[in-house]
A and B are shown apart, each in its own frame.
Chain A
Amino acid sequence: MSNSTETRDPTYTPRDATPARRFPVREVVLFGALLGAILAVYALMGAAYSTRMLVEAACYAILALGLTIQWGYAGQFNAGVMGFVALGGFCAMLFSVPVNDAFWGTELPGELGRVLLYGVAAIFLVVGASRLDRLGVPKKLRTLITIVLALVLYLVIISQLREVTSQIQSQAGFVGGFGLPAWVGWIVGGALAGGVGYFIGHVCLGLRSDYLAIATLGIAEIIKAFLKNSDWLTRGTATVSPLPWPTPGPAELGFTLSRAVYLSITAVVIAVIFFLLHRAYHAPWGRMIRAIRDNEISAAAMGKDINKRRLEIFVLGCILMGLGGGMLGTFNSLFDPQGYLPLNHTFLVLVMVILGGPGNNLGTIFGAVAVYIIWIMSEPLALFLMQLAVSFGEGAFGWDAPNNMDSRALQARVLVIGMLITLVLRFAPKGLLPEKIAHHG
């Protein structure tokens, strides 16, 4: 990018053409309706419940902003938002939970550190072996040596790790946390999600866009399986709670006020992200990203490094997802790896983005809050409708309903989300608030 500006007239700064000012009717109407819906929820369900809903919707808005960068700005489809959210939640848990003396007071941390050091050493050995051809070893022999060495070292390390982790589990329960403020965990969670995103993006972004969807879907299930089964690290299905908040908790301020304070933190985070994204979108960088999305070949012909820019934006989106996941996890005050579901944490976010307007930050935030309200309210509605259907069936046909109707009623929401995705793609592919494309000239 820098080399292309050098050749230009230095006084010329490219800028998006100022769109013709018009009164934003659509935005005002939609946000007015949203405000009305929020007020209705407050009137119906009480302040504490509604504030909780708003905080969760705000956390989802951060996730949706992450996805709108990837899908809306750059046309990359991430089918594994859940994995990055879970990583953020995990980091929030790991950093904020109080220190576990039963673990740190023994020789176990040293043992764990020793195994991890062995692991690092083994990686260096394997990488070294893969470079043996520079010393004159034939390439086939080098590959063979590398593979055998990697397998043997892997088995040695993994069996030692199993020993240590089972000791941790039996003696200390689990590793415990670091006792740091929650926001440290959020930042590290974002960084970790970004790292995983870098790995996936590095492998897949140069290839067909379908491969990224497959790989992200896979990594999300892997992350969940890891968090669920690593009892020594996360207590697995036993769950960790409570997670301390960075703000005064409900014990000090009461439910409504404490949640409102938390809501203000999330609002500030969203405002900062929104401002930065807005700047980036209208900067030359944003224009370049859109150029790559809309016509990859001509963007490449203009000398843009397509794969690098794509990786950049994919990692950025993943960082936001990790951050949002951390904030969501801390707010729920419970780390339950089994609570991360593709439906709640991947497809719901996808609906928010494509319904609100991919590539339009305001539309994405609108979509996030609106869809989350519908989602939360659909649970009692689905149960009520199912109850109605059952009583009708029993009365009219003498139908003997199975007893797990409640769990089945909730499955109806899966159907609705799926239908929403296909219908929006077909009838409103640009969402309710479409991306405004500035035309130059």
Chain B
Amino acid sequence: MNELVFFINNVVIAGSVTGSIYAIGAIGVTLIFSIMRFAHFAHADMMTFGAFMVLLLTTLFPAAGASIGVPTALIMLPLAMVLTAALAVGIDKAFYKPLRAHGVKPIVLVIGSLGVTLMLQGLIRLFSGTGGQSLYVDDRKEIFRLALPFEGVRAPIVITEPQLYLFVITLVAVVALHIFLNRSRLGKAMRAMSDNPELAQASGINTNTIVAVTWVIAGGLAAIAGTLLSLDVTFKPDLSFFLLLPIFAAAIVGGVGHPYGAIAGGFVVGFAETLAVFNWNVLLRPFRDSLPAWLELPSNLAFVGTEYKIVVPFFILVAILVWRPTGLFKGKVI
């Protein structure tokens, strides 16, 4: 049983955490892709920017959360979302819109977004330094240990406070997005534009508004993902290139331009990562006595070491591009 608890802690909980973060990030990437038809490489740095805004606000007002009983960082999250959304709209106005107006190929927009990612990286590191910092400035990270009511189980299931918030916020964000896309006028217009931009424009949809709304949603979601990631571990300004690959892999696995697919893809990539670095020998340990004698298991049965974690999303990406380039849920555009 202890082994099972270990499995739950290291795979089920850790996989859901990374999966949720990738999912929220991938939704933003896939929305931008379906409206503007290019892979937005600056997304991971928008996540970092959101987290950095939370860090700044939290250091400014460290005691704001204590009065309500939640971490200050969470109180500051809506404000950071607004700031990141404003940044996203501003970046679009300043850098992507002129390029679109020139009618360049999508790949030039990709290069432009790489330029933007470097600018954001430079700015964030200029102000925050290059080291890691905790978002818990004044308050303490609560850790819950749930002891299981079975005999012989010594290890508890460990879950931290930010992880609980993460699950709740992911759920809220996904439901809100679903309602927005299916019920509201703007959401329906967005879906129309993702299906066929010319037809949408001809039927009187203001494409400029849709583009701005897309950036607002993508920026807000990026701030959520970045903040939750930084709450779970620490705020690091140099994560972006490591986040980009899993997020894009998630978006492509789910079918590009397909928001629900992106959620599924995020969890597929997140769980694949945690399953690949999990040491399977732990699960086989209880059966050690019943295994045949010639079978001598090495102590480390993980598929890849943690230092090679980035290999997992890459091979998922390659596999999906080879066998099913439209993604699991048949993306609309490819």
Contact = CB atoms under 8 A, between A and B. Distances in A.
Interface of A: 75, 77, 79, 151, 154-155, 158-159, 162-163, 203-204, 207-211, 213-215, 217-219, 221-222, 225-226, 228-229, 342-343, 347, 350, 354, 402, 404, 407-408, 411-422, 425-426, 429
Contact of A408 (B110, B116, B126): B126
A271 to B, nearest CB: 29
A77 B2 CA distance: 50
Contacts of B282: none
B136 interface: no
Interface in B14-40: 38-39
B105 to A, nearest CB: 7
Contact of B317 (A218, A350, A412): A218
A411 B317 CA distance: 31
A149 to B, nearest CB: 15
Interface residues of B, number: 53
Nearest to B313: A218
A214 B314 CA distance: 9
Contacts of A79: 41, 114
A221 B131 CA distance: 20
A217 to B, nearest CB: 6
Candidate in A402, A404, A407, A411 with the most chain B CB atoms within 10 angstroms: A411
A404 B118 contact: no
Interface stretch (B207-215, B242-250, B259-267): B242-250
Contacts, number: 156
Given A213-B39, A415-B123, A422-B115, A222 B310 contact: yes
A154 B107 CA distance: 37
B130 A210 contact: no
A207 B107 contact: no
Given A221-B310, A418-B122, A162 B39 contact: no
A425 B122 contact: no
Nearest to A206: B325
Interface in B205-245: 241-242, 244-245
B111 interface: yes
Nearest to B107: A209
A278 B321 CA distance: 35
Candidate in B118, B126, B252, B325 with the most chain A CB atoms within 10 angstroms: B118
B282 to A, nearest CB: 14
A28 to B, nearest CB: 30
B119 A415 contact: yes
6 contacts: A79-B114, A207-B321, A213-B39, A217-B245, A218-B314, A225-B308
Nearest to A421: B115
Nearest to A221: B310
Contacts of A425: 99, 104, 108, 111-112, 115
A67 B318 CA distance: 23
Contact of A210 (B110, B123, B301): B110
Contacts of B311: 222, 225
Interface in B44-75: none
Given A213-B39, A222-B310, A429 B119 contact: no
Contact of B118 (A155, A225, A418): A418
A422 B129 contact: no
Interface in B111-147: 111-112, 114-123, 125-126, 129-131
Nearest to A417: B118
Contact of A77 (B98, B107, B298, B301): B107
B201 interface: no
A417 B121 CA distance: 11
A418 B108 contact: no
Contact of B121 (A217, A221, A414): A414
A411 B118 contact: no
Given A159-B298, A217-B245, A229-B305, A421 B111 contact: yes
B151 interface: no
Contacts of B184: none
Contacts of B120: 418
Contact of B308 (A159, A226, A412, A419): A226
B308 A426 contact: no
Nearest to B308: A225
Contacts of B289: none
Interface string B287-328: 000000000001011010101101101100110011001000
Nearest to A229: B307
5 shortest interchain CB distances as A-B pairs: A415-B122, A418-B118, A421-B115, A414-B122, A418-B119
B230 to A, nearest CB: 19
Contact of B321 (A203, A347, A413, A419): A203
